[in-house]
Amino acid sequence: MGLRPNLLTRRTAGVASTTLALLLSTAAVGVVPAASAFSAAPADACAEPADVHSDARVKAGAHAKQEPNELTAKETREREADLAAALRERANFRTGAGAAALAAVTIPVVVHVIQEDGTRAGGNIPDSMINSQISVLNEAYSGGTGGAATAFSFQLQKINRVTNPAWYPIVQGSSAERSMKTSLREGGKNTLNVYLGELSDDLLGWATFPKRRLDSMDGVVVLTESLPGGTATNYNQGDTGTHEVGHWLNLYHTFQGGCRGSGDGVSDTPAEAEPAYQCPTGRDTCTAAGLDPITNFMDYTYDTCMYQFTAGQAERMLTAWNAYRAA
């Protein structure tokens, strides 16, 4: 599948939709969702799952040595149990559980540009690329590229430029990554911290899932040249950022769990056996109904191929926001 009509033009112009409100009947603050199809732990489970690893996006043909790929079945069960427990905690401290389920969330964004030196090759990108990335996020999450509208918009608060060769490239899971984030992270659980730089192991980016207790690792790491106008061929329209923010808002990959079980836990994303690369039109790797969701932001296809979240993903993100990140 090629580029959708007018998408590249809209992104280049930086136009973002302002339709931010979304009616999600199960996502109001304090509402506990129905039992998860993941067969989560008993209702009194409250131990937060271990921070095993983050989730990532990988280039076609790349084989990352430390690829922080999809979660195991056990890890997904633990995360789903934790989500239910977090929502119960919220319900205990809030009134008006039957409040209207309209929600519009503006997420403050702090961008840390990690540089080896002051050159473009050393990571020093112009502000215009960062502003374009924010526009891409707003367009994608508003449904402006053709998918479902979500509750989320993004507002750039700060660009923080740091020249430190010890943090360049950013190595996933390293002590240097921890040192970088511990030194730089700003804001509360509702603040999106984005770290830009050259990355290790052919990764395009990675992100942490939300947790009940904020720690310094929380945030999103994105390859600098994957931003709009960057040099990462096939991955330079900003959708690595879109993908990783999806993880930060609690989405799994569309191929999570393969053809078995509950997959990514979202009913309107068809099951997918494994990641899709490039743009394989008509791909169908599972016997369950529906072709593989290769146009979904949470797959691994080229930026020109992915353009949508589903209504179920929008609901899942807002439910998780109310559980983990809402003030």
Residues with a catalytic annotation lie at 244
Burial (CB count <10 Å: 0-12, 13-18, 19+), residue 189: middle
Distances (CA, A) of 237 to 1, 31, 45, 185, 228: 16, 36, 41, 25, 4
Per-residue CA distances from 309 to 152, 159, 252, 287, 293 (Å): 12, 27, 12, 22, 10
Count other Cβ atoms within 10 Å, centred on residue 249.
Answer: 28
Please tell me the distance from the alpha carbon of residue 32 to that of residue 24, in angstroms, as a whole number: 13
- CB 107, CB 153: distance < 8 Å: yes
Indicate the burial class of 121 (C-beta count within 10 angstroms; 0-12, 13-18, 19 or more): exposed
Task: Tell me if 140 sits within 8 A of 147, measured CB to CB.
Answer: yes
CB distance 222 to 239 below 8 Å: no
